[in-house]
Amino acid sequence: MPKVTVYKLLLDMIKHEENFGAYWIYLALKKGYLQKEDDPKSIYDVPFTDEEIVEIKAMNKRDVLGINRIKLYATSISDTKYALYFARTPYDAQMLHATIYGSKPTKWHSIYNQHKYTSILHNETNEEIYLFMLKERVKEFPYYIGEVVVGDGESGVKY
């Protein structure tokens, strides 16, 4: 079993989109408070100043590590149905939507932060899966997830 290090923890935090922890470790490595091979428990001993905490938040906002480049977008296709897409930009989702549905809606909702831990019934694989896990499996973006029904007791992704 490979040894768990600060660097391995950083990679895992990036993979699982644990932004604050990832930027905490990144800045600690950059400032020399931690070394890549250190035990992960040492992250609790980093003596960050208030200014450095502000720097961590600013890096997160700018997405310096590229953790949140792919977002989850939704657009309404009826009163109770939304089409869901993973894409870098709303424009990318809009172009794919036009290919699938023949129209280009202009109203898009970025819903990833609110729903990355939401599970859906993915009809293609017939499994219940968290959206952040589905995003990991996708090889090419933009990606059409399917239609989700909201509000009437029915749920799941429909094709």
Residue 158 CA to residue 153 CA, distance in Å, equals 14
Please state the rounded mean pLDDT for residues 115-122: 82
pLDDT in tens, 30-39: 999 999 999 9
DSSP-H helix ranges across 19-130: 19-31, 50-62, 90-101, 112-115
Residue 103 CA to residue 114 CA, distance in Å, equals 26
Please state the rounded mean pLDDT for residues 52-61: 95
Whether the predicted pLDDT of 96 surpasses 90: yes
Looking up tokens 């499996």 gives: 137
Higher-confidence residue of 123 and 144: namely: 144
The residues spanned by each domain of the chain are 6-62, 71-158
pLDDT value, residue 157: 52
Among 36-45, 49-58, 92-101, 115-124, name the one with the lowest average pLDDT.
Answer: 115-124
What angle, rounded to 10 degrees, do the helices at 50-62 and 19-31 form? Answer: 120
Whether the predicted pLDDT of 88 surpasses 50: yes
8 Å CB contact between 149 and 81: yes
- pLDDT-based confidence at residue 159 (cuts at 50, 70, 90): very low
Please state the rounded mean pLDDT for residues 42-55: 96
pLDDT value, residue 120: 84
Please state the rounded mean pLDDT for residues 64-82: 91
